[in-house]
Chains A and B, each alone.
Chain A
């Protein structure tokens, strides 16, 4: 359409002053009159039909039971069922461990690295490009990379040999180890994001405030607590929410590394939902899980924002 109007510019100028406007001209004028709706409707329509409408359908599905003969309305029975479903409760615990450990370590390691780098390293550098690499890789590829590293007699077994006496660790096949191996891949992928975001934040702390504080005799620790931290507050909250919400939806890494095993040790909530819906065809209970997960995410995100406001004071 851009090129159409382009070629027509000269003629349209003439046409506007001539009495008989062509139908093409009328269409263009009509488009311009309604531009504000025409430009937003595609985006709004796609988002409503592919996120809000399915959300309502998920609510509806979660109140139904799927029988070979059709669907039956069962009210809150699916939700009651969830409470006594050992696999679902287990997946909640596994997810909580995964999210808790991964996000905490990513934040601590990333913040420490950003603080160290903020000292002496030039603002922009090759290192920033290089640490982007894990972030942009497909979680599928990351799963495969680590599957290779975790292979029996593979690289990590070799590195760990002095500690294990040569026996294979069973990184993703040993029930007590597997979850931590999956967590490690997440830390590997997302610590660089924390570094990048907090480093950018640290760089934007104005030098003059910090210099004035030095003149007033503020110690390194005081300067960190009273200048740097308040300055970074909103960025810290933002990065934690992003990581929290994102870690809760982990799927591909688990799918590639362990498929939720061994004996459900890495069966995160999205994996459990996938199995319930598409292995056991229990759409009702899987939808109830989906709705519960959504509520959980909303509560977490909102309470997190509230806590952050109270603690740092907005």
Chain B
């Protein structure tokens, strides 16, 4: 259950792993549980497909959205808002932090880290085994270590988000599962969720996958994408 996770969920992962789609879905789901939620879009890497594009939908669900201190979808400035520290300090908030990709994206955490209590933090690493750099257990471990080194945090769980977007089938999730099971064996870090977009799954979700099933809606893509 989402409510079993720590109060602060930091979503990280390799570039293009699907962090933002997962983070937005996670936030929308959690908002249905009546929690007071804030999401911070700290993506300083991408210029398209950022969670701030969904500000309206998120705010309609009662979520506080923190993005750049400089407003504008067309801006390419690595500026984050000082408001990002508030939900970390304010214990009444459930806080979801959507980071930019790779170790570069986690650099922003430097601002947050001194005030984080590790006991309050889940550091989730989203993995899509169809991304070339995370297509093997060794690749995933290498990326995990880079993310941990640059963030100073330890990954507490993996999100198996293995997909080929509109060509996703059951085998995708099984392939990701096999790779992440090996990673868990070597690192001890469990798979927390298996995420997939319900409307794109043409086949039944296989049983016995590591991690809790996490069906998603497609928020970040238009129908023609």
The answer to whether A binds B is no
